[in-house]
Amino acid sequence: MTTVQIREVGPRDGFQNEPETIPTADKIRLINGLGRAGFSRIEVASFVRPDVIPQLADGVEVLHGIDVPDSVSLMVLVPNSRGLDNALVQREYFHEVALFVSASETHNKKNVNRTVEESMADNDVLVKRVVAEDLTCAAVIATSFGCPYEGKVEMSRVLDLAERFAEHGATELGFGDTTGMCNPKYANEFFAAAIERLPGVEVTAHFHNTRGQGLANAYAALEAGCRSFESSFGELGGCPVPKGSTGNIATEDLVSMFHEMDVQTGVDLDVVIGSAREAQQVLGRKLTSHSIVSGPINWTPGVDVVGH
Residues near a second copy (CB under 8 A) are 146, 148-152, 179-181, 183-186, 209-216, 218-220, 241-246, 249-250, 253, 256-257, 260-262, 289-291, 293-295, 297-302, 305-308
Q: Which is nearer to a second copy, 91 or 211 (CB)?
A: 211
Quick check: helix, strand or coil at residue 97?
strand
Q: Which is nearer to a second copy, 244 or 284 (CB)?
A: 244
Q: Which is nearer to a second copy, 53 or 263 (CB)?
A: 263
For the question of residue 239 being annotated catalytic, the response is yes
Q: Which is nearer to a second copy, 82 or 185 (CB)?
A: 185
CB of 18 to a second copy, least distance (A): 19
CB of 263 to a second copy, least distance (A): 8
CA atoms within 13 A on the CB side of 64: 8
CA proximity to 187, closest of 207, 169, 173, 170? 207
CB of 269 to a second copy, least distance (A): 10
| Helix 105-112, helix 116-132: angle, nearest 10 | 70
Q: Is 294 exposed, middle or buried (0-12, 13-18, 19+ CB in 10 A)?
A: middle
At a CB cut-off of 8 Å and minimum separation 6, what does 289 contact?
233, 234, 235, 250, 251, 252, 253, 276
d(CA 146, CA 256): 27
CB of 194 to a second copy, least distance (A): 19
Burial profile 154-168: b = 16 or more Cβ within 10 angstroms, e = fewer: ebeebbebbbbbbeb
- By annotation, the residues acting in catalysis are 239
